[in-house]
A and B are shown apart, each in its own frame.
Chain A
C-alpha cells in the first residue's frame, strides 16, 4: 500500500512538472499573438459581441490553450460566476471610492471584463478605476493608478456568494439539529442529527477536552463553528457545479480571517501564566531572556500565520493538481486529437484518485485547524486550574 502511494505521488509530481514546463514553453507566444488577434479583430469589428466570441475562441482554441491562466482562473476569486461556455452569473459590484463615493451595479455591465462602467473596469480580474467613458473597450482604457488606490472593492464576489451559501447550509443543518434535541431530548438522535452528533462529540472530546481541559466549554461554540465552516467549504469546493466549486477555504483572505479570530481569542484569554511564559520565562537567566523573549513573541504571531498558510496551501494545491490533470488533456489534444483522448483516460483516473485524496484532506484540514486552535486556547488558559504539566 505504501509503495503504491509512493508510486502514485512520483507519477503525480512528474505529471505536474511536465504540465508546468509545457506552460512555460508556450508562454512567450500567446501574449503577443493574443494582442495581434485582438487589434485585428477590433479594426473590422461591427458587432462587439462577435468580436468577443472570436477572440474567446482564438484564446481557447488550438495552440492558444494556456493552462496556467485556466488553473489560476479556477482557484481564484472573480466578479461574476462563470457557469459554462459564455454563460456567467452576474454578481453585485459594491465599490467605495474615497473621492467618488459608493457605487453599486451588476458585474454584467463589465461584459466579462471587456467594457468599462461607472468609471471602473476589470483588469486581470481585479477591479480598477479608470477615467474612460462607460462602454469603452477595457483592453484600451488606461488604469487610473491614483483613483485605484482610493478604491475599496467590497463586491459580493464568487467566494463571498459561496461563503453565504455555506452559511445557509450550516444554518439549515444546525437549526434542524438543535430543534431535534429541543423536541426529542437527549435520546438516540434521528435524521440529520444522527450524522452530525458523532462529529460534534469528536470535536468536544478529542479536540476541545483533550487540549483545553477544564474550561473547554467556553471555546466550544467557536471550535464547532470553525470546524464545520471549514469542512463544509472544503467539501463544497470539491463539487464542480454551481453554487459549489468556489475555492473559499483555499482563499488566503478567508484563512487569514479565520486565523485572525483564533489569534484574537488566544490573546484575550491569555492568563498571567501564559504572558509570563512569553515575556519572561521563569527560571531563565537574564541574558538568555534577551534572545528568548523575542523568539516567544515571534512565535505568538507565527502560529496563526502558519495556521493561515496551512489551510490555504493544502486546499489550493489539491485544486491545482486536479485542474492540471484536466489541462493535460488539452495540452496533448493540441498536439493530436487522438493523443488528447488517450491522455484523458489517465487524467480521469488520476483525477478520481486525487478527488479521493481531497475528500480526506477536506476532513483532515478542518480537523487540524480546529485542533491547533484548541491547542493555542489550551496554552492560553493553562495553569489557571492548577493542572500545569
Chain B
C-alpha cells in the first residue's frame, strides 16, 4: 500500500460516536450516583429526620446529568 492512497478505515463508521455516547451515558450515571452518595454522606453527618441532602443530592445529580448531556452533545 503506497503512502499516498488513503487507507480505508477498518472500523464501522459509527465507532467513535458509539464510544463517545457510551462514555456520556456512564458519566451521567456516575454523576447521579456521586451526588446522591454525597447527600447520603451529609445526611449521615447531620442525622435529621428527613434525608434532605440525599433528596437534594439526587435531584441535583439528575439535573447535572441532563445539563451535561446537553453540553456534551451540542455542536457549535
Contacts and interface: CB of A to CB of B under 8 A. Distances in A.
B10 interface: yes
Nearest to A368: B19
Chain A interface helix/strand/loop/mixed: helix
Interface stretch (A24-32, A64-72, A168-176, A205-213): A205-213
B64 A302 contact: no
A371 interface: yes
A298 B34 contact: yes
A201 B60 CA distance: 45
B30 A302 contact: yes
Given A201-B7, A202-B10, A306 B64 contact: no
A352 interface: no
Contacts, number: 58
Contacts of B16: 210-211, 375
Of A292, A295, A372, the most chain B CB neighbours within 10 A belong to A295
Nearest to B26: A306
A205 B15 CA distance: 14
Of A281, A296, A388, the most chain B CB neighbours within 10 A belong to A296
Contacts of A281: 71
Contact of B64 (A202, A205, A292): A292
A288 B67 contact: yes
B10 to A, nearest CB: 6
Chain B interface helix/strand/loop/mixed: helix
A292 B23 contact: no
A298 B67 contact: no
B58 interface: no
Contact of A298 (B11, B27, B75, B76): B27
B65 A206 contact: no
B64 A372 contact: no
A32 B52 CA distance: 46
Contact of A205 (B9, B75, B76): B9
A371 B16 CA distance: 9
Interface string A268-305: 00000000000001001000100110111011001101
Contact of B27 (A211, A294, A302, A389): A302
Given A292-B64, A295-B31, A375-B19, A302 B26 contact: yes
A188 to B, nearest CB: 10
Contacts of A303: 23, 27
A282 to B, nearest CB: 10
B26 A284 contact: no
Contacts of A201: 7
A52 B63 CA distance: 60
Contacts of A291: 60, 63-64, 67
A375 B31 CA distance: 20
Interface string B36-72: 0000000000000000000000001001110110010
A306 B23 contact: yes
A284 B75 CA distance: 14
B26 A375 contact: no
Contact of A284 (B7, B30, B71): B71
Contacts of B9: 205-206, 210
Contacts of A372: 19, 23
Contacts of A296: 68
A205 B7 contact: yes
A388 B71 CA distance: 15
A340 B9 CA distance: 48
Contacts of B60: 291
Nearest to A198: B10
Contact of B19 (A288, A295, A371): A371
A225 to B, nearest CB: 20
Shortest beta-carbon contacts, A-B, top 7: A295-B64, A302-B30, A291-B64, A299-B27, A295-B68, A295-B31, A306-B26
27 contacts: A201-B7, A202-B10, A205-B9, A206-B10, A210-B9, A210-B11, A210-B16, A211-B16, A291-B60, A291-B63, A291-B64, A291-B67, A292-B67, A292-B71, A295-B27, A298-B30, A299-B30, A299-B31, A306-B23, A306-B26, A368-B19, A371-B19, A372-B23, A375-B16, A375-B19, A375-B23, A388-B76
